[in-house]
């Protein structure tokens, strides 16, 4: 009996993590399947390749039409949809980008003002074009 205890214990130690990992994979697959089947026109999504788009048509079972720019609609497999993007989070990202652009515009204006104040202005010299022999 004692000779069987060690092999049984070893099998149990190896089997439990495998079973738990399999359950986690099944749960993730079920969540992904539910996401892909619940998409509706107007939803903001990200594909597995990192493309952000808006769902234009979701009537087909295997494919989905995504609008990637105004008037540009492409057809993708539903499995290519990685996640639904929260509209509030997307607005926050856009607000940060516009704030960065405003800061860059202000610094460019300050630089151009400093350049106009300096008396010495340098000009670029351009070489004459080469003549090719025929």
Question: Are residues 54 and 43 in contact, defined by beta-carbon separation less than 8 angstroms?
Answer: yes
Does 21 or 122 have the greater pLDDT score? Answer: 21
Fold of 13-103: SH3 type barrels. (2.30.30)
pLDDT tens-digit readout, 76-127: 999 999 999 887 665 555 565 555 555 555 555 544 444 545 455 667 677 7
107 Ramachandran zone, left/alpha/beta (phi>0; psi -120 to 50): alpha
pLDDT tens-digit readout, 44-73: 999 999 999 999 998 988 999 999 999 999
pTM of the model as a whole: 0.53
Q: How far apart are CA 39 and CA 9, in angstroms?
A: 46
């Amino acid at each position: 009996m004692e000779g069987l205890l060690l092999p049984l214990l070893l099998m149990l130690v190896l089997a439990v993590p495998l079973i738990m990992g399999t359950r986690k994979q099944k749960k993730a697959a079920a969540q992904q399947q539910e996401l892909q089947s619940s998409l509706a026109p107007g939803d903001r999504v990200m594909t597995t390749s990192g493309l952000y788009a808006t769902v234009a048509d979701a009537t087909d079972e295997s494919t989905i039409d995504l609008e990637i720019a105004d008037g540009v609609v492409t057809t993708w497999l539903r499995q290519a949809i990685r996640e639904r993007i929260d509209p509030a989070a997307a607005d926050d990202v856009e607000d940060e980008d516009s704030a960065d652009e405003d800061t860059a515009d202000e610094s460019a204006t300050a630089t151009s003002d400093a350049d106009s104040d300096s008396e010495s202005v340098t000009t670029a010299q351009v070489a004459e074009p080469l003549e090719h022999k025929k």
